[in-house]
Amino acid sequence: MPHDGDHDHGRKPELSPIALRVRALESLLVEKGYVDPAALDVLIDTYETRIGPRNGARVVAKAWTDPGFADWLVRDATAAIASLGYAGRQGEHMVAVFNSPETHNMIVCTLCSCYPWPVLGLPPVWYKSMPYRSRAVIEPRVVLREFGVEIPDGRQVRVWDSTAELRYLVIPERPAGTGGWDEERLAELVTRDSMIGTGLARMPA
């Protein structure tokens, strides 16, 4: 655990100012009895190793292969996603938005960094960054080009700004040439960025 390394005073003498402040605050909050240090380790482990975008990829692959499940995602994404075991904090109210030849969907939170943790894990740095939060709504196509994604002029770009407690998951289009593939194989094509809408699903090799 990183926790052990943090407290190894002998090996890492030169901590940055913020690292020192965070360490001091942790000591204080533990001393005051507000925080259980073992609970911190569980929280870190949960989001480091247990919850990540493979969860969302499984949702997408199932949507691609099971029309009943795709329809359930449209009607009640929270329940459909919970049926695969993904629920809870920062995924309490899920909405699935489907890409199509007419529409490309893209998710942002301009006011903070809201993100669907149970299906995608913690957000990448760029998602929380000022450039993405400021520009995704005003020039989404320019932002998409910075990810190497070009959306044809005839296809509308629809940006979802997560201002409330609804959390959005993009269901990218299923790549051509994947007929007959099972869910597990399809899930390998589903990138994290394709579920935020700043990428597309991988083409089969």
Instruction: List the one residue from 99, 191, 194, 198 that touches other proteins (CB under 8 A).
Output: 198
The binding track of 106-135 with respect to other proteins, each residue x by CB under 8 A or -, is --x-xxxx-------xx-xxx-xxxxxxxx
CB 171 within 8 A of CB 72: no
Q: Is 100 a catalytic residue?
A: no
Query: For other proteins, which is the closer residue by CB, 3 or 202?
Result: 3
Q: What is the CA radius of gyration of the chain?
A: 20
The burial of 120, by beta-carbon neighbours within 10 Å (0-12 exposed, 13-18 middle, 19 or more buried), is given as: buried
Distance CA 63, CA 113 (A): 26
Instruction: List the one residue from 163, 202, 203, 204 that touches other proteins (CB under 8 A).
Output: 163
Q: Does 164 bind other proteins (CB under 8 A)?
A: yes
Sign of the CA dihedral running 180, 62, 95, 139:
negative
Query: For other proteins, which is the closer residue by CB, 6 or 188?
Result: 6
The binding track of 51-80 with respect to other proteins, each residue x by CB under 8 A or -, is ------------------------------
Instruction: Return the range that interacts with other proteins (CB under 8 A); candidates 65-73, 141-149, 169-177, 178-186.
Output: 141-149
Q: Is 113 a catalytic residue?
A: yes
- Those residues whose C-beta lies under 8 Å from the C-beta of residue 100, and which sit 6 or more positions away, are 173
